[in-house]
């Protein structure tokens, strides 16, 4: 019998980028499930990630730094889902619903938790403003009135975000129909500024 057969095999050391990604995924889960920035402590994140607090500090200077990185990661993934390779289009809402279903904690972190937190709210407001700006040209095709086109772009953006949150909160019913139903709700914004029946 070999002398070392009964010893556990040593853990493989992860590359820094891979370890950072695992920590951010764990932090997203921990922050979303605990209720945002204030109620979550770094021990919660370390436990979720299966690492020590010391390792956590090798990658992030503070809880705020970690939270910001988790928000940035979620916002980047949202952008990838919504725009794909060709900007906004018919694929955008179904892709956002699919991403939210796969990473509900990240979606909630952005639009439920960080959006309500004083130190991070401005960033989420800017994210939403960017989404509205991306939708606005589509609304301008329906009306020459700039105030109504901005209104419709804001309404459509808010409808998509809130509809996805509510869908997640209600157990994700009929996932194959979710995007279609959310798009039906968004169509109301388009109809509201389109040609009105006499």
More confident residue, 2 or 69: 69
| CA–CA distance, 103 with 171 (Å, rounded to integer) | 14
Res 8: pLDDT: 46
Token representation of residue 134: 């991306």
Token representation of residue 13: 């050391």
Helices 121-140 and 63-83: angle between axes, nearest 10 degrees: 10
pLDDT tens-place string over residues 159-182: 999 999 999 999 999 999 999 999
Least confident range of 63-72, 84-93, 113-122, 185-194? 84-93
Token representation of residue 146: 């700039």
Contact 105, 32 (CB under 8 A): yes
| CA–CA distance, 121 with 42 (Å, rounded to integer) | 21
pLDDT tens-place string over residues 112-133: 999 999 999 999 999 999 999 9
| CA–CA distance, 74 with 170 (Å, rounded to integer) | 21
Res 92: pLDDT: 93
Rounded mean pLDDT, 132-148? 93
User: What global pTM score does this model have?
Assistant: 0.87
Token representation of residue 88: 């906004």
Q: Which domains does the chain have, with CATH numbers?
A: 16-193 (1.10.357.10)
């Amino acid at each position: 019998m070999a002398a070392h057969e009964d010893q556990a095999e040593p853990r493989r050391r992860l590359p820094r980028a891979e370890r950072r990604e695992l920590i951010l995924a764990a932090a997203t889960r921990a922050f979303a499930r605990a209720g945002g920035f204030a109620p979550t402590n770094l021990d919660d994140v370390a436990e979720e990630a299966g690492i020590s607090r010391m390792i956590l500090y090798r990658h992030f200077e503070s809880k705020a730094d970690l939270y910001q990185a988790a928000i940035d990661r979620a916002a980047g993934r949202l952008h990838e889902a919504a725009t794909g390779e060709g900007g906004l289009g018919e694929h955008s809402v179904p892709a956002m619903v699919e991403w939210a279903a796969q990473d509900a904690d990240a979606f909630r972190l952005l639009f439920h938790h960080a959006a309500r937190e004083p130190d991070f709210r401005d960033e989420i407001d800017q994210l939403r403003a960017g989404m509205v700006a991306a939708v606005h040209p589509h609304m301008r095709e329906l009306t020459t009135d700039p105030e109504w086109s901005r209104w419709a772009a804001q309404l459509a953006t808010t409808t998509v975000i809130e509809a996805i949150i509510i869908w997640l909160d209600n157990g994700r019913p009929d996932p194959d129909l979710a995007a279609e139903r959310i798009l039906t709700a968004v169509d109301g914004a388009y109809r509201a500024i389109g040609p009105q029946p006499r």
